[in-house]
Amino acid sequence: MKPPTLERQLQDLVECGIRLLPNANREALLREWSAAEFEENPYELALVALGGDDPPLAENVWHFDTECIEDHGDYARIAERMRSMAADALPIARVEDFVDVEAREAWLSFVLDGAEQRWTCELQDDWVDPTVLSRFAELLTQRNAGRRFTYLDLGGQDCLIGCFRDDELTRLRRTTGLAWEWLR
């Protein structure tokens, strides 16, 4: 069976709930990879490309490198991306962080619904504290927004994080054959 073309993969992903940004097109995706590479690794590579940071091509999927904590602003960047993926369902504001790797101190703060949240973050070299992602997942779940954060392990130091409804996650798993799960 012939693998789906890049165009077919994009169409399928949109039908699964991936919200493409206006700059998401074939040319943007082919800047780093060839069409043949997208067919060799269907859906996973397209999702990685769509979820990149430079620039992002999808609203609700993020290709996340877990080895990313080096200085001030790193946890704030994570919080802002989680807010962006959740859209109006997670309206956090006044995001601030502090990261001092040598002093082994890090925290993230923000305001949600008028209440300040301040989370202490564990430091282990430059790896993200995974409880930060879990806390965002729990916040979104508690808001009963109809969508939740998802996770796809890519087998290395990176992963895909998404934000989907139940039916979208079901379609995404079935269409792509990838082992997406709810972020916990």
User: pLDDT per position in the chain (184 positions), as tens?
Assistant: 899 999 999 999 999 999 999 999 999 999 999 999 999 999 999 999 999 998 999 999 999 999 999 999 999 999 999 999 999 999 999 999 999 999 999 999 999 999 999 999 999 989 999 999 999 999 999 999 999 999 999 999 999 999 999 999 999 999 999 999 999 9
Question: Per the structure block, which two tokens stand in for 91?
Answer: 């309206």
Q: What is the pTM (predicted TM-score) of this model? A: 0.95
Looking up tokens 């039908």, which residue turns up? 15
Helices and strands per DSSP (H, E), number in the chain: 7, 7
7, 18, 37, 61, 152 from 34: Cα distances, Å: 13, 21, 5, 21, 23
Cβ contact 6:35 at 8 Å:
yes
